[in-house]
Amino acid sequence: MADAHELTKTKKSFAAVGIALLVFTVVTVTIGLAPIFDFGPPGPDGMDFVLGLAVATVKASLVALIFMHLNHEKGLIYKILLFTVLFATGLMVLTLFADIDPIREQFDTLQTTRGWLTEKP
């Protein structure tokens, strides 16, 4: 059975991570609402999403390492986690590539010109 000193240490680390999660939640809301973090045009843009996802990644890492006790695991779990992160990143990149798809660009042109890409004869 664990001794009292080890339980106190665990409680302190859980409390510290809980406070860090609350602070990062406030940071996420501030990034979304404060004009000082608005790097592009007014309103949400790509940089706001990148900053928000970076903060969310830190928060998810804290939860996984501390609350799910992954900081005491063997090396295989980190290899699986790395593969998962690379796979998720690849899916996000593929989604971003859809934004520069030439077929979508032609479809948008067709809709804005009511079907006529050139002037009517």
d(CA 47, CA 37): 9
Return the half-sphere exposure (C-beta side, CA atoms, 13 A cut-off) of residue 48: 17
The per-residue pLDDT for range 49-79, each reduced to its tens digit, is 788 888 998 999 899 888 888 777 788 888 8
As a whole-number percent, the residues of the chain with pLDDT over 70 amount to 79
**pLDDT tens, residue by residue, 72-111:** 778 888 888 889 989 999 988 888 787 776 666 666 666 6
pLDDT value of residue 24? 94
- Phi/psi region, residue 98 (left: phi>0; alpha: psi -120 to 50; beta: rest), is alpha
Q: Where are the domains of the chain?
A: 1-72, 74-121
Q: For the chain, give the DSSP string.
A: ---HHHHHHHHHHHHHHHHHHHHHHHHHHHHHH-GGG--SSSS--HHHHHHHHHHHHHHHHHIIIIIT-GGGS-HHHHHHHHHHHHHHHHHHHHHHHGGG-HHHHHHHHHHHTTT-SS---
Is the predicted pLDDT of residue 119 greater than 60, yes or no? no
Predicted local distance difference test score (pLDDT) of residue 67: 84
- What per-residue confidence (pLDDT) applies to 95? 81
Cα 20–24–29 angle (5° rounding)?
150
